Structure 1
Amino acid sequence: MTDHNEHSGLAERRGRIVIDLSEYRESRDPMPVAFHRLELNQILRVYGRMVGEGEWRDYAIDHLRDRAVFSVFKRSGDLPAYTIEKNPKLAQKQGAFSIVNTQGRILKRGHELAQVMKFFDKVQKLTD
């Protein structure tokens, strides 16, 4: 404990300010939006089912400053067939979760991920 205080005093005497690195990171670069574990479980459950049926083959997860995106691909080199997005800024409005197709059209939006993910149950029934 004494080393820390000595170093802090030395830095202050030299005209420097000691800042905790974690505080600096939080103030400078806010944490990106991410899916929580339970949300990822719901998404991966549907993804696994669709992979088993041969509909989807690959996925990507992006954690951006304003939203988190889970993209699913029919083939690895293509554009994503669907993106499942979490945008906390829309939580009080239309709902934080949405499913978007390749053209950028919002196919389903809601406050609860489980309800939004039911969209893929209907897609499966339409293709059968």
Structure 2
Amino acid sequence: MDPDRNKHIRNVAIILVLAVAVWKLPGGGTAAATIGNVFSVLFLGGFCWLGYRLYMEHRDTVMGLEERQRALAYGAFALTIFAVAATGRLWSDLGIAGGMLWMLMLGLAGWAFYSVWRAYKTY
């Protein structure tokens, strides 16, 4: 089976033609933003599905944690989601202070996850 030698050149040319169409055609920017939003929703939906599957597969382990550790894990997860959702606003509106607050939130969430993992492995 002989591979097509011009396959990669053809694929790059298709991408370039689509990029020029989005750039030059009227309404192309709106179409690009719409497609980007659709991909973003699909990407986030995939993460939600992955989280649901992981939770369902490890539900016994999560429910086996003591209440304090489970609350700490849920809180760390919520803080991580909040930090990721507020990334743009924290970095652009608050500048360096917002960036430091963002890093602090993710650092606290990481510490909480590590603390829960360490307590889980101890017993």
Question: TM above 0.5, one fold?
Answer: no
Greater strand share, structure number = 1
The normalised TM-score by structure 2 is 0.30
Q: Which has the higher contact order (CA 8 A, sep 6+)?
A: 2
